[in-house]
Amino acid sequence: MVSAKSVPHVAFLAFPFGTHASPLFSLARALAADAPSTAFSFFNSARSNSSLLQSLPSGLPPNLRTFDVPDNVPEGTWLPPVEVRLFLEVTPGNFLETMAAAEGEFGRVTCVVGDAFLWFAGDVAAERGASWVALWTGGPCSLAAHLYTDLLRDTFGVEDQVVYISFGTVIMPSPQELTEMAAGLEASGVPFLWSLKDMARKHLPEGFLDRVAGRGLVVPWAPQTQVLGHLAVGAFLTHCGWNSVLESISCGVPLICRPFFGDQCLNAKTVSCVWEIGVAFESRTMEKEDMVRVLNVVLKTEEGKKMSEKADKLKTTALQATKPGGNSIKNFDTLVKMIVGNHGS
Ligand code: U2F
């Protein structure tokens, strides 16, 4: 192995599942043979490294070394989505620690070649002022679909509409209601993003996150206004805090209201009975069947389509109000005059 710390040092970051690591390893071997005075480090899980090395007819070029990265997968686990989730839980820390050891030996990494699934490889390279090459191991059409996702959505729309769920900053439904909501989400088959505080995750049904992996995500905090503005969001399950109501309207997203106290109950009533841009559960716990039914109504029926159209109209009205000459602007001008008189102008 090249040991001088002044030589270029290329780090390969492998995604250790399926056949992802294999083409990356072939590339590493070909490059190492072609550039004998460059150091090449291959970071991969111990299991994947061992299987790659076993199938190797001859040894490795002397300037290429494999490094085992902890994958956080207990021995005997054999369920790919579970393995990937466990691995991602300790990523990128596991790579960074192992890379630090390799850099101690071969010097700072000057180029990062990462499996394109490892999104953080770009940051790892940028932090070092290194170049970054991403290897896409799938077919080119699927890569194009990723690169042009927004264009495709804008052109064709989104068939299966990511419900967004959040109860704001102060509300926490009871453990029983959280369990029922999760069961309803699971049974509905609807894609979802759920902003749920970490301390409440323990109330989700056992194995829920694994069973909904690929169509459902639970996060402790979400960039709500951006999420609501995304074309894939077809409904917002909310406690009806006023900010959430306004944000949903600004994005034309119909609401599923589960108010808890104070203004939330009247907000929910206004949403469902006055504006008709959503449905409301008033002062009662949501059960699994409620969840399935209401998601179906809002996302998949004519009734839901009408709510969505009305929400869209309200969005136009709301946006109009914040343009020059709009009501919100006029009201703000009035407020300025009340507070500072004509001294401000
Ligand atoms: C109280 O409501 P909250 O503060 O709990 O809820 P909202 O008024 O809906 O405001 C929540 C804000 O937090 C943001 C979201 C809203 O601006 O965009 N947010 C986020 O960005 N990401 C997340 O994952 C979760 C939330 C009270 F309980 C209500 O009754 C009142 O109507 C309200 C206003 O006085 O205050």
Q: In this predicted model, what pLDDT tens digit does every residue of 155-168 receive, in sequence order? A: 887 778 889 999 99
Q: In this predicted model, what pLDDT tens digit does every residue of 100-120 receive, in sequence order? A: 999 999 999 999 999 999 999
Nearest CA among 290, 241, 234 for reference residue 261 = 241
Q: Is the pLDDT confidence value at 42 over 70? A: yes
Count the residues in the chain.
345
Q: For residues 35 and 117, what is the distance between their CA atoms, to the nearest angstrom?
A: 26
Q: What is the DSSP letter of 179?
A: H
Q: Is the pLDDT confidence value at 36 over 80? A: yes
Q: Of the given ranges (141-145, 184-188, 189-193), which has the lowest mean pLDDT?
A: 141-145
**What is the average pLDDT across 315-326?**
94
Mean pLDDT of the chain: 93
The predicted structure's pLDDT at residue 3: 56
Indicate if ligand 1 lies below 6 Å from the C-beta of 122. Answer: no
Q: How far is CA 21 from CA 39, 68, 107, 135, 232, in A?
A: 19, 13, 24, 10, 32
The predicted structure's pLDDT at residue 95: 98
The predicted structure's pLDDT at residue 156: 83
- Are the C-beta atoms of 70 and 43 separated by less than 8 Å? no
Indicate if ligand 1 lies below 6 Å from the C-beta of 172. Answer: no
Using CB atoms within 10 A of its CB, is residue 251 exposed (0-12), middle (13-18) or buried (19+)? buried
Q: For residues 111 and 9, what is the distance between their CA atoms, to the nearest angstrom?
A: 7
The predicted structure's pLDDT at residue 114: 97
The rounded Å distance from CA 212 to ligand 1 centre is 26
Task: Report the nearest atom of ligand 1 relative to the CA of 242.
Answer: 32
Query: How much of the chain exceeds pLDDT 90, in percent?
Result: 84
**What is the average pLDDT across 189-202?**
95
Q: What CATH number does domain 175-321 carry, 3.40.30.10, 3.40.50.2000, 3.40.1010.10, 2.30.40.10? A: 3.40.50.2000
Whole-model pTM over 0.80: no
Q: How far is CA 48 from CA 52, 73, 116, in A?
A: 6, 12, 17
The predicted structure's pLDDT at residue 289: 94
Q: In this predicted model, what pLDDT tens digit does every residue of 174-189 receive, in sequence order? A: 999 999 999 999 999 9
- Are the C-beta atoms of 182 and 205 separated by less than 8 Å? yes
* Residue tagged active-site, from 9, 71, 115, 239: 115
Q: For residues 287 and 61, what is the distance between their CA atoms, to the nearest angstrom?
A: 61
Provide long-range contacts, Cβ within 8 A and 24+ apart, for 313-317.
314/249, 314/252, 314/275, 314/277, 315/249, 315/250, 315/251, 315/252
Is this complex's ipTM strictly greater than 0.90? yes
Which residue ranges does the chain devote to CATH 3.40.50.2000? 9-137, 175-321
**What is the average pLDDT across 316-336?**
94
The predicted structure's pLDDT at residue 345: 58
- Are the C-beta atoms of 46 and 160 separated by less than 8 Å? no
Task: Report the nearest atom of ligand 1 relative to the CA of 170.
Answer: 5
The predicted structure's pLDDT at residue 21: 97
Q: Is the pLDDT confidence value at 171 over 80? A: yes
Fold classification of 9-137 (topology level): Rossmann fold (3.40.50)
Tokens representing residue 150 in the block: 């927004």
Q: Is the pLDDT confidence value at 223 over 60? A: yes
Q: Is the pLDDT confidence value at 1 over 70? A: no
Q: In this predicted model, what pLDDT tens digit does every residue of 66-108 receive, in sequence order? A: 999 999 999 888 888 889 999 999 999 999 999 999 999 999 9
In the residue annotation, 290 being an active-site residue is answered as: no
In the residue annotation, 312 being an active-site residue is answered as: no
Indicate if ligand 1 lies below 6 Å from the C-beta of 232. Answer: no
pLDDT band at residue 154 using 50, 70 and 90 as cut-offs? confident
- Are the C-beta atoms of 213 and 235 separated by less than 8 Å? no
Provide long-range contacts, Cβ within 8 A and 24+ apart, for 273-276.
275/310, 275/311, 275/314, 276/306, 276/307, 276/310
The rounded Å distance from CA 314 to ligand 1 centre is 20
The predicted structure's pLDDT at residue 4: 54
